A and B are shown apart, each in its own frame.
Chain A
Amino acid sequence: MVTATKKKMVQWDPADVKAELIKKYPPKVARKRAKQIMINEALENETPEITANVRTTPGIITMRGCTYAGCKGVIMGPTRDIVNLVHGPIGCSFYAWLTRRNQTDAGPDGDNFINYCFSTDMQEQDIIFGGEKKLAAAVQEIYDLMHPKSIAIFATCPVGLIGDDIHTVAKNMKDKLGDCNVYAFSCEGYKGVSQSAGHHIANNQVFRHIVGENDTPTEGEFKINLLGEYNIGGDGFEIDRIFKKCGITNIATFSGNSTYDQFATAHQADLNAVMCHRSINYVADMLETKFGIPWIKVNFIGANATAKSLRKIAAYFEDQALIDRVEAVIKEEMPEVETAVADIRSRTEGKTAMLFVGGSRAHHYQELFKEVGMKIISAGYEFAHRDDYEGRQVLPNLKVDADSRNIEEIEVEADATRFKPRKTPVQLVALEDAGVKFKHYDGLAPDMEEGTLIIDDLNQYEAEKLVEIMKPDIFCAGIKEKFSIMKLGVPMKQLHSYDSGGPYAGFQGAINFYHEIDRLTSSKVWTYLKAPWQESPELTAAYVWE
């Protein structure tokens, strides 16, 4: 890729790039987008401010999805023994059917509904006369056919408008069936401005209807919950492998390959480890308030990040045997990682990447790129809030606008019988001093270099411009962005749902990812774009053989 490297040497000024991105917009749109594009000043003391979690402008080809996608697709989709019943016309349910590559392992009980798609397939008469009866009948039919432990009901756009009372239907059915927990999610697509609202709605209901339902003591030492891990491409399996090796008991993953009982017993953990801050930080807070379980931010994307997170967990439990075991595991796993890095780094060193995914991934994945010597020149989230960019210290200053007000905040109090602080205030302070920070997340901006571009809710037009101007060696986003970027001759890696690869978490995952990056950025295919006759089109003579 001689030409690409040459072009990359041309220096660009971030302010010029920003100006170029918004040049073509009508003035109002340009003004709004300008506030969502931030030139990072992370190396200075003050964190600059970015506008996030605001509505997408109509007509702009956005990367975002909707509230329903966040609720059913992201949070509840990966649970294996809960039947997810979508109340609405067929499409919403169809599109969320197996498309996120959440992997599952049915386990000894054998319950696994993840390969199924359930819908009330509302018809015109249901829209006109209401769909509550059909919904109740659908729950009954599912129960009769499959006897699941639990049925979750999701509302789609029209359901909210016609006013079907899904919560009452759920409650009545729960009472009627007796041994099946039925609850509902008001996650109509128009609520909120992105998937993020759906995460919130999902988590609230899981917390309200499932967490704490089962007090049968769980076995095992060093009990944690892993929050915000969805087992895309088997990530959760790799993390669980490592936990097991270390002797850490993962009671519940929220929600990759999870089960109803995992959620129901989650209140028995002694620590919550938060992966995807955006999708689930409030569950961590609620678990702390209600049951006294502290939380720390972890990251299992990247080998060093994994080692660091394991050490943090071990330090929290203050148990020498655990600390030693974690060190032993790291020592055992790292050589293979280092060999892979050494091999790949010679080809990836100095190459550049752009990441536009989710509300944590565009941060987490930077670790992996840095491990192979690559630079991140621009990044941003599809549905983050300001704290995901700037850190949790901005939380008290966040303005609550009309769209956020639509999303219920549930008030949680200490559980009368089960609240039990896991550490004393003195212990917590000592741990903080030792570097185990609680309730803490610095966000994406401090980890990015000065002068890089941080862009919220990037859209197709800006993505294309950005790639044209800055010519990254790789671009990461989702399936909708994949092929327009590739048409520009730039390798593209999906990071929501990973194309075909994974796992990328943990030690083995890191190795997988290095190989994938090596494959993508060193591939010869990008040299085939022009045919030989396009490279030198001069005609000399007809039918000349030599």
Chain B
Amino acid sequence: MLLRHTRKEIGERKAVSINPAKTCQPIGAMYAALGIHGCLPHSHGSQGCCAYHRSALTRHYKEPISAATSSFTEGASVFGGQANLLQGINNIFSVYEPDVIAVHTTCLSETIGDDLPQIRKKAQTEGKIPEGKYVIGASTPSYVGSHVTGFSNMVKSMIEFSEKTGRKNGKINIIPGWVEPCDMEEIKRMAKLTGVETIMFPDTSGVLNAPMTGEYKMFPDGGTTIAELKSTGDSTGTLALGEWCSADAARVLDKKCKVPCRVLDMPFGLKATDRFVDAMRTIAGVSVSDELAVERGQLVDMITDMHQYFYKKKVAIAGDPDQVIAMVEFLVSIDMCPVHVVTGTPGKKFEKRIKEITKDKGFEVNVKARGDLFLLHQWIQNEPVDLLICNTYGKYIARDEDIPFLRWGFPILDRQGHQYFPTVGYKGGLRLLEKILGLLLDRKDRDDPEESFELVL
């Protein structure tokens, strides 16, 4: 037993968090910043945070994650980090030559109260920011929200680039939220099939799933360009995918440049993808291509073909709010029963949404925002499930309780593929179902007595 000290009896815990289902803001800000072309994320604090965030992202994406740090020591912590950041900006532009430095704070610089906008102004007046280069910043204290909040905050900062020239560009902005690089690619492909011209930001496709060529590019070819970010102010509208990850930025852009926005769920599974495609279609005034309709039909086909294996299966799930909401809806739509649902990110709205989605579906749901995997495990011990959906850390629970386990979300440290094979959209839905089915049927094949072990399923 790996988690041998976890027991069924659930006591109230007010102070200790055990096996968290979230991490801290800056890592989200760092991931988002990597979705700008030519951008070097910069962590304003002591170098340990930056090392941890780079390591975690590296382990998940299996790609180089370049990010600089202000390398605070005791002095900076007492007297403020302005000198470190100014020096850092100067060194970064001379040595690495990025187009943009995206600074985010850490607990340390937040607690001492460093003022990013003021430091940036100083860098500007002191000539430390070369002509045509940019420094943007986001405040990302980790004692508020989670990694998801940090992602959202950095995306919000990107709106600073947007300009309203008065000449419409006829495009739709899409803010995809914290999804994999391949998911961003898939969302772009669906938009293209719908016949919609888009600006996607951030866009880590081509950055964090770059090819192996024998050349190392610190700034790979992908990412949203500054020109595109500027142009977002002239777009027809913005689709923000995910309330937690993307909505804030869309609203800020609306306020700043009068670009109307709609906040949708992340397009995981059938219904959320339907709503996404339908929204693109109506905003752009186009009709959906047959190709997408075929893909949709294929997904529905697989659901109908294999429904008997999904029906009434109990699922436990942990992950980030936007993803989990869409996933729970998907599971419910194929008659699975997500009975235990946890996110680490705070937000009462999450619990409300999950309760709405699962209402009157014939099972009771345990749901918690600001929960942790220790609690999820206890719930599972009290009411066992047929499938666990979680990031890599779920593998300890899965092994102890002997539950089929779908790795999904962030971080995935021990498997490959998540950066290449999308799970959004209809195609992604097919992949999710294929994986779930594989897990359930492998389990059946292993557990069935010999007399009922069958070739055809």
Contact = CB atoms under 8 A, between A and B. Distances in A.
- Chains A and B come from one and the same complex: yes
Interface of A: 24-26, 29, 55-69, 85, 88-99, 106, 110, 112-113, 115-124, 126-127, 134-135, 137-138, 140-142, 144-146, 156-158, 160-162, 188-193, 402-403, 406, 460-461, 464, 478-480, 482-489, 529-530
Nearest to A191: B74
5 contacts: A25-B94, A89-B142, A118-B17, A482-B58, A487-B215
Interface string B113-151: 000000000000000000000000000011110110000
Contacts of A146: 5
A449 to B, nearest CB: 28
Interface string B230-241: 000000000000
B272 interface: no
Contacts of B70: 58-59
B423 interface: no
Given A25-B94, A91-B49, A484-B66, 9 more contacts: A58-B69, A60-B71, A69-B52, A99-B413, A112-B4, A121-B17, A127-B111, A189-B46, A480-B51
B91 A120 contact: no
A161 B66 contact: no
Nearest to A488: B216
B333 interface: no
A95 B87 contact: no
Interface in B1-21: 2-5, 7, 11, 13-20
Q: Which 5 A-B pairs have the closest CB atoms?
A: A66-B48, A91-B24, A59-B88, A59-B91, A137-B15
A480 B143 contact: no
Interface string B189-229: 00000000000000000000010111111100000000000
A116 B18 contact: yes
Interface in B266-325: none
B328 interface: no
B3 A189 contact: no
A160 B17 CA distance: 20
B71 A480 contact: no
Contacts of B22: 90, 94
A161 B19 contact: no
A64 to B, nearest CB: 6
A286 B62 CA distance: 42
A95 B71 contact: no
Given A66-B49, A529-B212, A119 B107 contact: no
A85 B85 contact: no
A402 B75 CA distance: 9
Interface residues of B, number: 86
Given A29-B91, A190-B72, A402-B75, A64 B51 contact: yes
Looking at A67, A69, A483, the one whose CB has the most chain B CB atoms below 10 A away is A483
A190 B20 contact: no
A459 B404 CA distance: 42
Given A145-B5, A189-B46, A117 B26 contact: no
B63 interface: yes
B293 to A, nearest CB: 36
A487 B95 CA distance: 20
A539 B2 CA distance: 60
Contacts of A63: 51
B165 to A, nearest CB: 34
B108 interface: yes
A90 B77 contact: no
B389 to A, nearest CB: 19
B107 A89 contact: yes
B196 to A, nearest CB: 33
A89 B20 CA distance: 11
A66 B51 contact: yes
B378 to A, nearest CB: 10
